[in-house]
Amino acid sequence: MLGSKGLLTLASYQVKIVNKLQTVKRCREFNIDEITILYNLGESTNTREDCIVGVYLLLGTQ
């Protein structure tokens, strides 16, 4: 199990990934690897709820 510092690091990582991919989407379509990252992030039980919302918005799914 992750300690509180580990969870903070994981949450920070999730936000950074979503923000990075949001920037990518503004410039071009996602490639297959980026789509896979988003799906994995959205399906993970450790992903913050706000990041899951961001993932589905980026993927254009509900």
Contact present, 55 and 42 (Cβ < 8 Å) = yes
Mean pLDDT by 10 residues, the chain (62 residues): 63 92 97 97 93 95 68
Rounded to two decimals, what is the model's pTM? 0.80
Token pair of 57, please? 């918005």
Which burial class, exposed, middle or buried, applies to 10 when counting CB atoms under 10 A from its CB (0-12, 13-18, 19+)? Answer: middle
Question: What does the pLDDT read at residue 9?
Answer: 82
Question: What does the pLDDT read at residue 57?
Answer: 96
Question: What does the pLDDT read at residue 10?
Answer: 80
